Structure 1
Amino acid sequence: MDDDPDMLRGVKRLLRQYGYDSVLFPSAEALEEHDDFEEAFCIILDINLNGGSGIELRHRLKAAGISVPVIYMTGADNPAVRMAAFQSGCLAYLTKPFSAKSLIEPLGRASAG
């Protein structure tokens, strides 16, 4: 999930190119209202969302019993945010722009179990 539509489309194309199906969410609220995480093996979240934080969203999802692994991405890296991201239990923390490999490798680990 990212609040930038171009970034969303780019990530979706990249995932499709590597054989991953994805569901895009235009907002944190839309993701939180989603009720089918059965087949999800990973959530890709932007750290800075309109009106909120991807890390806070991750904590709300966990509190709701949704424990799907998370990969964070951000265009505004800083040490405190990076530490909070890793403390939340993420698979990866990617700084935009990031390479396809830096996204696909942790996805491969997530899909393997």
Structure 2
Amino acid sequence: MGKLRRTVAVVDDDASLRRSVGRLLNAYGFAAVEYASAEAFLNRNPGPAVECLVLDIDLKGMSGIQLQRKLKEEGSKLPVIFITALEDPRLKIMAERAGCIAYLQKPYAGSALIAAINKALGL
């Protein structure tokens, strides 16, 4: 038996970007689970334990930063990597204050995302 695949959740309302991140993660040996919104992530069925969260900041409904704050309030230690297409230095500061492992601006290199996930998981 091979080693267990680590599960990474991708929350992004852009379906094509979500799929491409999922494919990238699968190519690097991670199990990707995809969600179109913060609410969908919060209401997910308990399945494989998510070990890292790749989270878009600018979501319809609850924002990525609001989701990160809610998870922290609930005592979650889930490492978060924020991704965004927005060029706003204040968002980066807010994301870092919310406690993210990395903050990547779209378009970012796939290798940068994989490096951030490896760091988050202590690999």
Partner AA of 2:60 in structure 1: N
Match for residue 3 of structure 2?
Answer: none
Aligned to 2:22: 12
Of residues 30, 44, 51, the one that matches 2:61 is: 51
Task: Verify the 8 A CA contact 2:37 2:61 in the aligned structure 1.
Answer: no
Question: Could you tell me whether the CA contact under 8 Å between 2:39 and 2:62 is conserved in 1?
Answer: no
Count of residues in Structure 1 that have an aligned counterpart in Structure 2: 113
Letter of the 1:61 counterpart: L
Structure 1 segments unaligned to the other structure (5+ residues): none
* Aligned Cα root-mean-square deviation (Å): 1.6
Q: Deviations over 1:62-101 (max 9, x none)?
A: 2223220100000012111000001111010000011011
TM-score by length of 1: 0.91
Partner-residue secondary structure (3-state), 2:33: coil
SS of equivalent to 1:15: helix
Structure 2 Cα separation of the partners of residues 7 and 101 of structure 1: 15
Q: Are 2:44 and 1:34 equivalent residues in the alignment? A: yes
Moved segments of 4+, more than 4 Å: none
Larger mean Cα displacement after TM superposition, 51-60 or 35-44: 35-44
Partner of 1:106: 116
| 2:20 aligned partner, one-letter code | G
* TM-score calculated relative to the size of structure 2: 0.84
The residue type equivalent to 1:82 in the other structure is: K
Identity between Structure 1 and Structure 2 (%)? 39
CA contact (8 A) 1:37 1:66 kept: no
Hey, what does 1:77 align to over in structure 2? 87
